[in-house]
Structure 1
């Protein structure tokens, strides 16, 4: 099916979408939020709402950076699939050929492809303390990641069953990418994905001088000490009304959740996938590969999976059809969604820990550009 042709949003429809955004933010106590809408060729709309930081009342803008958390997995999967297109990564090879520790003692061996669609049998421990202060050196982040892999980086279920979402699987995939590419994982993703896509405001560290959102957790005052005990020292900041601020941090585990950047940059990654592998005139993936990534083939829980993109089982019959990926964690709740038949992609990034009805928000924005 050819994508529906988009046109400039009707001003009244766009105002209704803005009203939906502000209403959801008020009802769910979201401090700040940035959205971006794109088609396969260009950014159609981007805007910030609310505050990037409650203590200073600094506004959230299109230039505000947010930790991507698990939205980073789409960049990781894109890098893996580009290596496969180049013949440098065999998706059907046993994972242990690239990451020896990730192997079952008996039975079928997990394959690289199964890391992408979460069927490799990897565990998914709760990533509560998988963060370090924003100024932590790369060596400390690398050491923390190695500890996670040493403790959890092996299959705990037979491969090939229903998809079960796993952050650890994407840490192992990052190791496989580094081995296949011959360079550190983060360096390879920058060179193979971020630079070709023109994503200059996104990386695996906080850019000096850039505007970054402060994470917030809505929490009753008596529970704040428990939050301080749960997170590494120094990350829990001051309380502002019913919200507790988190100081800037880095994620230990670049492959599953380490990117930090803006909504318009995330929209560039969506453009790459909407245009079947081409962005900024650069071909990153073959058309067949880009389409395969967003084809949902593997049922699972809590998501049905393609090779990176997912969809909730409850959304299997949604029309217009879409695939998406969320990025959630302490202080932030993000999502990016592709509507291949409409030729549209939407990103929403917010500095709140709780869900806020992102589907209604995204639907309102899509309606503004297709009505």
Structure 2
């Protein structure tokens, strides 16, 4: 960390990186409403080469970009180009989702309340994935339930392109420049690769990760879609934080107004427009996390104290917990009280239901399925307790609920729009499984 900010727990950052993460490098920065108060870099940007993270190293920030997409939409609204409460079809006439409910509006997409799928990320471009929503169903009335959707934000980027008649990443680039984020990039391309830290993933993608197994370089992808395509430095990200904690524009205040409770990820908290809002550490915060293939990030802002922190890494870790801690440490330093201890919770997965011999009606479905989509590389299907379960990329199993059309709903919640279908069966074994538009194929490994 910078020498001027002795309060910041360097050892906490190093220990979290080394003992609690699947990353090799970390970059952090803390700001108040006026300026950066500290920043620091730790570990390696490229483990094989031994290259250290520097202040100029870029990391992909993933879904933190969603708040920036909302700023662009609010500015377009204020310029008379869009109405956030108009149907998406007013701007994308070809947009279609099967639904028995009222039309989906821009605001529904901005608040993740459209009732649509999360999105399988099967295409590097937004257009096909948004077009393919016509093969899915909106399962809840818009505006009534929070279900995170990257596909919805991809659609919002296409709306911005339609009304401005310019590529989304150009509009985003102008926003970054206006904030003074001159080291950042509005799209991840091959030309950017030499400036980016190498992304890392846990060695095995089909089981709960164990630190002793180590990490491997992640699949490289280019990206310019509105659900998450910015690459930035931690110090650059403080410009975005100052916009949020300043709360000196109507647009920012609108973004931070709770729109819907987030029952999925942060019980008791809410989602506004591209930002989470609620109490963290017993104080009012706004925050967002971001995950890409090999990159993970978090920002957190104490709105009353006017302090924000950005944590960027090239792998999975407790980065939101660390960001909230860095905010609390700066607040303690400013108030002249001891810095709090950092004890991020150990999140152990619940033990999966024991696999059993499947009933005859499901015997063809049980197995391991794979594809080359790095976002959804594999899934396991197994039977237990007269129920069918699916575990995606080694994650916690979710129940598969049979539906009248032969598909399965993913999850016990009746509101879930996610579907798993088995549409090719040869010699008594399902060969292909389609997870909400992403096809996966039976593989030989258990």
Aligned to 1:270: 241
1:11 offset after TM fit, Å?
4.9
After superposition, the Cα gap between the structure-2 partners of 1:259 and 1:155, relative to the gap in structure 1 and judged at 3 Å, is farther
Aligned to 1:200: 182
Q: Is the 8 A contact 1:95 1:102 kept in 2?
A: no
After superposition, the Cα gap between the structure-2 partners of 1:105 and 1:366, relative to the gap in structure 1 and judged at 3 Å, is closer
Partner of 2:321: helix, strand, or coil?
A: helix
Structure 2 residue 93 is the aligned partner of structure 1 residue 119: no
Partner of 1:265: helix, strand, or coil?
A: helix
Q: Is the 8 A contact 1:96 1:103 kept in 2?
A: no
Structure 2 residue 291 is the aligned partner of structure 1 residue 310: no
After superposition, the Cα gap between the structure-2 partners of 1:82 and 1:9, relative to the gap in structure 1 and judged at 3 Å, is farther
Structure 2 residue 49 is the aligned partner of structure 1 residue 66: no
Q: Is the 8 A contact 1:84 1:90 kept in 2?
A: yes
Aligned to 1:108: 102
1:355 offset after TM fit, Å?
2.8
In 2, Cα distance between equivalents of 1:122 and 1:114: 10
After superposition, the Cα gap between the structure-2 partners of 1:208 and 1:174, relative to the gap in structure 1 and judged at 3 Å, is closer
In 1, Cα distance between equivalents of 2:330 and 2:10: 10
Partner of 1:62: helix, strand, or coil?
A: coil
1:366 to 314, 321, 328: 328
Q: Deviations over 1:95-119 (max 9, x none)?
A: 1101221455543111111111111
In 2, Cα distance between equivalents of 1:307 and 1:148: 22
Aligned to 1:215: 199
Partner of 1:63: helix, strand, or coil?
A: coil
Q: Deviations over 1:227-261 (max 9, x none)?
A: 9xxxxxxxxxxxx982201254323x510011122
Partner of 2:284: helix, strand, or coil?
A: coil
Across the aligned residues of Structure 1 and Structure 2, the Cα RMSD in angstroms comes to: 2.7
After superposition, the Cα gap between the structure-2 partners of 1:347 and 1:172, relative to the gap in structure 1 and judged at 3 Å, is same
Structure 1 portions without partners, runs of 5+: 1-7, 131-140, 228-239, 278-286
In 2, Cα distance between equivalents of 1:215 and 1:172: 27
Q: Is the 8 A contact 1:95 1:103 kept in 2?
A: no
Structure 2 residue 307 is the aligned partner of structure 1 residue 344: yes
Structure 2 portions without partners, runs of 5+: 336-446
In 1, Cα distance between equivalents of 2:166 and 2:265: 33
In 1, Cα distance between equivalents of 2:4 and 2:167: 46
Q: Deviations over 1:178-236 (max 9, x none)?
A: 22223221112222x112112122221345585210011122xxx47x79xxxxxxxxx
**Greater relative contact order (Cα 8 A, min sep 6): structure 1 or 2?**
1
Aligned to 1:231: none
Aligned to 1:242: 214
Q: Deviations over 1:59-92 (max 9, x none)?
A: 1122110111111111111111111222222111
1:41 to 34, 42, 45: 34
In 2, Cα distance between equivalents of 1:293 and 1:155: 27
In 2, Cα distance between equivalents of 1:272 and 1:172: 25
Count matched residues: 318
In 1, Cα distance between equivalents of 2:5 and 2:179: 30
Q: Is the 8 A contact 1:309 1:323 kept in 2?
A: yes
After superposition, the Cα gap between the structure-2 partners of 1:89 and 1:60, relative to the gap in structure 1 and judged at 3 Å, is same
1:145 offset after TM fit, Å?
2.4
In 1, Cα distance between equivalents of 2:18 and 2:299: 21
Structure 2 residue 18 is the aligned partner of structure 1 residue 52: no
Partner of 2:43: helix, strand, or coil?
A: strand
1:177 offset after TM fit, Å?
1.4
Q: Is the 8 A contact 1:69 1:328 kept in 2?
A: yes
1:367 offset after TM fit, Å?
1.6
In 1, Cα distance between equivalents of 2:280 and 2:29: 25
After superposition, the Cα gap between the structure-2 partners of 1:343 and 1:316, relative to the gap in structure 1 and judged at 3 Å, is closer
After superposition, the Cα gap between the structure-2 partners of 1:241 and 1:294, relative to the gap in structure 1 and judged at 3 Å, is same
* TM value normalised by structure 1: 0.78
1:150 offset after TM fit, Å?
2.1
* TM value normalised by structure 2: 0.65
After superposition, the Cα gap between the structure-2 partners of 1:97 and 1:357, relative to the gap in structure 1 and judged at 3 Å, is closer
In 2, Cα distance between equivalents of 1:82 and 1:69: 22
Aligned to 2:76: 83
Aligned to 2:258: 296
Structure 2 residue 168 is the aligned partner of structure 1 residue 185: yes
Aligned to 1:23: 15
Partner of 2:227: helix, strand, or coil?
A: helix
Determine which structure has more spread, i.e. the larger CA radius of gyration.
2
Aligned to 1:156: 138
